[in-house]
């Protein structure tokens, strides 16, 4: 008792520590260890060393699915960083400057965050539908009738549509983050810019952006993690297989498919027999992909702070 009385923090730590260790940390460690075994979760578990990793990167069927999913995930990342984040920063800057109607914009832009993914996918499916879709109707109406097509059935468009849905729903959160960062910037540096005669955009680029580098880096890292782990949009839109020819397949969906199987089109005895082993291997590769990027981020942030 006196041991605990001297260390009251232990009792405060214990419940959270146990549940966090059991349901967050243990699964990561366990996944790493399962990836060295050949196992389907029920049958015999045989140690195979790095065989699962070798299979993932040498089997041509696995490799083609893996690279397709990775490229699709990276497509979301690149599109978001190049298009969405700049637009979010501009939108945040407008609201920061309290343009007319900024209170309404804040609410309108954040609202889609509260719409759950199945609803978003459903609405976009209807809007883009070939027959009853509003988007085609709109094209006809403004005289672009020749461009009318069944958007969701077209190969190559799938990931762009997924990205559009994600951008629409996630736009507000990122924007609010940037807005929060802008509000932290001291008024003095802005006033100095004013007196120097810096214009509306110049103030954004030369005063505000340099001061929110860390926030932007954080958002890029979050975007990367999200694009590596996005699952629900692709699963709802394309099913377990990620659409025709894995058109909208992404990393997390590939992981799910290998781990829990594809009911309609099994990949073959080889993989379902080893679902746990190979599934964990994919999860570990994903962990590594995220870990490397996070470390890069920590290093960049640390270096920046040294400079300042």
Partner 1 sequence: MIGVSEKKKSATAASILLWIYSCFTVFVLGYMVYNSLRPKSELLTNTFGIPKSLGFDTYIKMFTEQKFHRYFLNSTLILGATLVLIVIFASMVSYALGRYKFKFKNALQVYFLLGLMFPASLGVLPLFLLMKDLHLLNSYASVILVLSAGISMPVLLLTDFFAKMPGEIYESAILDGASEWKTFYRIMFPLASPVIFSICIVMSVQIWNQFFMPLIFLQNDSHKTVPLIVMKYTSNLMLSMDKAMVASVIATVPILILFMIFSEKILDGVASGGVKG
Say how far apart CA 161 and CA 151 lie, in whole Å: 9
Nearer to partner 1, 267 or 290 (CB): 290
Residues 6+ apart with CB under 8 A from 69: 242, 246, 249, 250, 251, 253, 254
Q: Could you say which residues in the range 198-257 bind partner 1, by CB under 8 A?
A: 199-201, 215, 218, 225, 229, 231-232, 235-236, 252, 255
Structure tokens, 305: 């702070």
Nearer to partner 1, 106 or 156 (CB): 106
Say how far apart CA 71 and CA 85 lie, in whole Å: 20
If binding is defined by CB under 8 A, does position 47 make contact with partner 1? Answer: no
How far from the centroid of its chain's Cα atoms is residue 186's Cα? 31
If binding is defined by CB under 8 A, does position 82 make contact with partner 1? Answer: no
Per-residue binder mask for partner 1 (CB under 8 A), 166-195, x = binder: --x--x-x--xx-xxx-xx---------x-
Nearer to partner 1, 64 or 294 (CB): 294
Q: Could you say which residues in the range 117-136 bind partner 1, by CB under 8 A?
A: 117-119, 121-123, 125, 127, 131-132, 134
Question: In degrees rounded to 5, what are phi and psi of residue 158?
Answer: -50, -50
Q: Is the dihedral of CA 100, 101, 107, 113 positive or negative?
A: negative
DSSP string covering 184-203: HS-HHHHHHHHHTT--HHHI
Nearer to partner 1, 29 or 60 (CB): 29
Among 50, 71, 115, 292, binds partner 1 (CB under 8 A): 115
Nearer to partner 1, 158 or 238 (CB): 238
If binding is defined by CB under 8 A, does position 108 make contact with partner 1? Answer: yes
């Amino acid at each position: 008792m006196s041991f605990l009385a001297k260390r009251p923090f232990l009792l405060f730590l214990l419940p959270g520590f146990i549940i966090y260790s059991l349901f967050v940390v243990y699964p990561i460690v366990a996944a790493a260890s399962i990836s060295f075994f050949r196992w389907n979760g029920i049958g015999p578990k045989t140690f195979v060393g790095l065989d699962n990793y070798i299979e993932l990167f040498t089997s041509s069927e696995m490799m083609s699915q893996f690279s397709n999913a990775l490229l699709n995930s990276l497509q979301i990342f690149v599109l978001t960083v190049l298009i969405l984040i700049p637009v979010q920063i501009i939108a945040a800057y407008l609201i920061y400057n309290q343009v007319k109607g900024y209170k309404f914009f804040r609410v309108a832009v954040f609202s889609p965050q509260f719409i759950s993914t199945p609803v978003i996918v459903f609405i976009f499916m209807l809007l883009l539908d070939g027959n009853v879709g509003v988007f085609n109707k709109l094209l006809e109406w403004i005289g672009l009738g020749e461009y009318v097509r069944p958007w969701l059935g077209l190969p190559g468009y799938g990931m762009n549509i997924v990205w559009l849905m994600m951008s629409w729903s996630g736009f507000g959160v990122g924007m609010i983050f940037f807005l929060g960062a802008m509000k932290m910037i001291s008024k003095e540096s802005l006033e100095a810019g004013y007196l120097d005669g810096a214009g509306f955009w110049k103030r954004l680029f030369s005063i505000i952006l340099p001061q929110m580098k860390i926030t932007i880096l954080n958002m890029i890292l979050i975007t990367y993690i999200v694009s590596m782990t996005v699952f629900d949009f692709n699963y709802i839109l394309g099913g377990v297989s990620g659409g025709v020819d894995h058109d909208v397949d992404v990393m997390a969906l590939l992981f799910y498919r290998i781990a829990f199987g594809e009911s309609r089109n099994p990949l073959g005895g080889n993989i379902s027999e080893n679902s746990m082993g190979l599934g964990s291997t994919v999860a570990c590769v994903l962990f590594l992909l995220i870990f490397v990027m996070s470390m890069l981020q920590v290093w960049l942030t640390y270096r920046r702070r040294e400079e300042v």
